[in-house]
């Protein structure tokens, strides 16, 4: 066990804090010798598995079933949907040779799986009885990102879940989009404690091939936005390209109505560690922590063996009650151990020393607040459960309060630039979110380095009667949110 201290200020220098917590908490290793690819280490992958499980449980509860599709996609599949291939072509990794022989047709490493899955959907769907079809897969995708890569936030290989659904009617597809949004709320916000706003993306920022795109955007501590789960209303665009059709009640052939939804686990993890972390390191929600409880023996000369034995017995008892527990019996000092496990975000610490053995009460310390209390041994499991819930709730409420302060307004380009310098989302009037508004979005980007994220889904943000577009000065039809993004 090695630990050389952690002393970085998240508020003053988030970039350094982020890099150091990723390295020192041993979340990933950047030294893999392929540019843009990293190795995720056990401490983060244990959380990944819990995050996957939370989303998968929600998806299966809403009727989705798991599957696994090949990572390689024939080039001919991409060519079937014009907008899709144009949108993803610059980012594709191609396999062109096998066993020293050139392939007759290039194979793409999937950047997303529409073109792989819908080829099969056309074979599986024949009639109304085959609908709705709701399938998800937990997998990796590959995109040759040209922007600077950063662990979890942006890389060329990322880990996610993608759900792809087919319905008999447009109304059912639209309802699924709302269900996807509710899934993001229940999992990413209520369970993981990451606040967000769901935006309807402008026409120029839709998923290639989609009719409409909706994206959940959260914020990082430096005020920049990070895109989280998106859900896409695909309409019949891909169904027509891949002949995903069925016989309707009239015996007529009809194309299906489709949606897709993609929570990126690796990117959500970036928000979890960034939003909740502090100047001691990680602070993790109870249900996401690889280790929920660490038991620390506090030694006293002459009682070393008895104290260690008791600490191990306490850890074993808690493990038997379903907690994820580590007993740190190393020879390091208690203070060193406290710092080590605090850096890794372990939610609760139980201290076992001579006084605790004598009194039958153990000191329990919370990672989120630093508060300590004494708990009787028989009451320990129930109290730790209660504290676990309290920690997760506290992290969510604290994040929500911070997030609410990051929403600003501006009515001119000058005001917008000043507001963006503070960080967060800025509401501004815009002439249009249709394609004719793209030039104004590009002007905003050029002058403020801010991106138009879209209009708030289900919101009541309407421009006042006299409002004019911040970019062109024409009457404003929309209120959009602008932010600087990763």
pTM beyond 0.85, yes or no: yes
Q: Which residues contact 227 (CB under 8 A, 6 or more apart)?
A: 215, 216, 217, 267, 485, 486
Select 407-483's CATH number: 3.50.50.60, 1.10.10.10, 3.30.110.30, 3.40.50.1820: 3.30.110.30
| Residues 116, 74: Cα–Cα separation, whole Å | 8
What is the CATH code of the structural domain delimited by 42-276? 3.30.930.10
Contacts 24+ apart (CB under 8 A), 335-338: 336/3, 337/294, 337/296, 338/296, 338/365
For residue 70, which of 160, 164, 139 has the smallest C-alpha distance?
A: 139
Q: Are 253 and 245 in contact (CB under 8 A)?
A: yes
Tell me whether strands 133-142 and 65-66 are parallel, antiparallel or unpaired.
parallel
Distance CA(319)–CA(263), nearest Å, equals: 31
CB 109 within 8 A of CB 72: yes
Residues 6+ apart with CB under 8 A from 352: 295, 296, 297, 298, 307, 310, 311, 314, 362
212: closest CA among 454, 405, 29, 37?
A: 454
Name the nearest CA neighbour of 272 among 396, 161, 371, 185. Answer: 396
CA distance 56 to 64: 9
Task: Record the tokens describing residue 477, joined without a space.
Answer: 């039809």
- Per-residue model confidence (pLDDT) at position 149: 73
**Nearest Cα residue to 310 out of 287, 334, 329:** 329
Residue 149 DSSP one-character state = P
Q: In Å, what is the CA distance from 124 to each residue of 66, 118, 166, 184, 413?
A: 15, 10, 11, 29, 52
Q: Which of 395, 403, 135, 181 is nearest to 286 (CA)?
A: 395
Measured distance CA(143)–CA(372) in Å, rounded: 46
**Where are the chain's structural domains?**
42-276, 293-390, 407-483
Kindly report whether the peptide bond that precedes residue 132 is cis, defined as omega within 30 degrees of 0.
yes
Tell me how far apart the 2 most distant CA atoms of the chain are, in Å: 86
Rounded to whole angstroms, the Cα distance separating 293 from 289 reads 9
Supply the pLDDT for residue 24.
Answer: 96
Chunked into runs of 10 residues, the chain (486 residues) has average pLDDT values of: 72 96 96 93 98 98 97 89 73 93 95 94 97 98 82 92 98 98 98 98 95 98 97 97 95 97 97 97 98 94 91 97 97 94 98 90 97 96 98 98 98 97 97 96 98 92 91 96 96
Question: Which pair of structure tokens corresponds to residue 462?
Answer: 């309407």
Residue 114 pLDDT: 93
Query: In the beta sheet, which residues pair with residue 325?
Result: 293
Closest CA to 199 of 375, 430, 449, 388: 430
Apex 265 CA angle, 484 and 338, nearest 5: 95
Place of tokens 């302060």: 405
pLDDT of residue 3: 52
| CATH fourth-level superfamily of 293-390 | Anticodon-binding domain (3.40.50.800)
Give the pLDDT score at 4: 60
């Amino acid at each position: 066990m090695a630990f050389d201290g952690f002393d970085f200020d998240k508020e003053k220098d988030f970039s350094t804090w982020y890099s150091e917590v990723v390295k020192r908490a041993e979340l990933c290793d950047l030294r893999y010798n392929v540019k843009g690819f990293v190795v995720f280490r056990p401490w983060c992958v244990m959380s990944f598995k819990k995050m996957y499980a939370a989303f998968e449980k929600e998806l299966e509860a809403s009727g989705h079933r798991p599957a696994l599709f090949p990572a390689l996609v024939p080039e001919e599949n991409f060519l079937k949907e014009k907008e899709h291939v144009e949108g993803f072509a610059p980012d594709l990794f191609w396999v062109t040779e096998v066993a020293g022989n050139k392939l007759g047709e290039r194979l793409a490493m999937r950047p997303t799986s529409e073109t792989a899955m819908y080829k099969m959907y056309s074979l599986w769907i024949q009639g109304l009885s085959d609908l709705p079809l709701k399938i998800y897969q937990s997998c990796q995708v590959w995109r040759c990102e040209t922007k600077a890569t950063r662990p979890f936030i942006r890389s060329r290989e990322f880990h996610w879940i993608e759900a792809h659904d087919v319905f008999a009617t447009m109304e059912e597809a639209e309802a699924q989009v709302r269900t996807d949004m509710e899934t993001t709320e229940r999992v990413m916000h209520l369970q993981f404690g990451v606040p967000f706003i769901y935006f309807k993306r402008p026409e120029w920022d839709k998923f290639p091939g989609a009719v409409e795109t909706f994206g959940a955007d959260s914020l990082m501590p430096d005020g920049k936005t990070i895109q989280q789960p998106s859900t896409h209303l695909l309409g019949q665009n891909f169904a027509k390209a891949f002949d995903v059709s069925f016989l309707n009640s009239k015996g007529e052939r009809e194309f299906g109505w489709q949606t897709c939804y993609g929570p990126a686990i690796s990117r959500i993890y970036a928000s979890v560690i960034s939003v909740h972390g502090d100047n001691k390191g990680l602070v993790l929600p109870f249900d996401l922590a690889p280790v929920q409880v660490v038991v620390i023996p506090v030694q006293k000369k002459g009682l070393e063996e008895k104290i260690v034995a008791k600490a191990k017995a306490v850890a074993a008892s808690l493990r038997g009650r379903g907690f994820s527990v580590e007993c740190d019996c190393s020879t390091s000092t208690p203070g060193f151990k406290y710092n080590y496990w605090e850096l890794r975000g372990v939610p609760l610490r139980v201290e076992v020393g001579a006084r605790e053995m004598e009194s039958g009460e153990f000191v329990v310390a919370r990672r989120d607040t630093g508060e300590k209390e004494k708990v009787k041994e028989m009451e320990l499991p129930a109290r730790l459960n209660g504290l676990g819930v309290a920690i997760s709730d506290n992290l969510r409420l604290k994040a929500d309060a911070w997030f609410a302060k990051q929403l600003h307004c501006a009515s001119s380009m000058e005001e917008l630039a000043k507001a963006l310098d503070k960080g967060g989302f800025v509401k501004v009037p815009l002439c249009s979110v249709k394609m004719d508004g793209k030039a104004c979005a590009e002007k905003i980007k050029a002058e403020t380095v801010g991106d138009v994220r879209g209009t708030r889904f289900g919101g009541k943000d309407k421009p006042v009667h006299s409002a004019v577009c911040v970019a062109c000065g024409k009457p404003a039809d929309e209120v959009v949110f602008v932010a600087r993004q990763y």
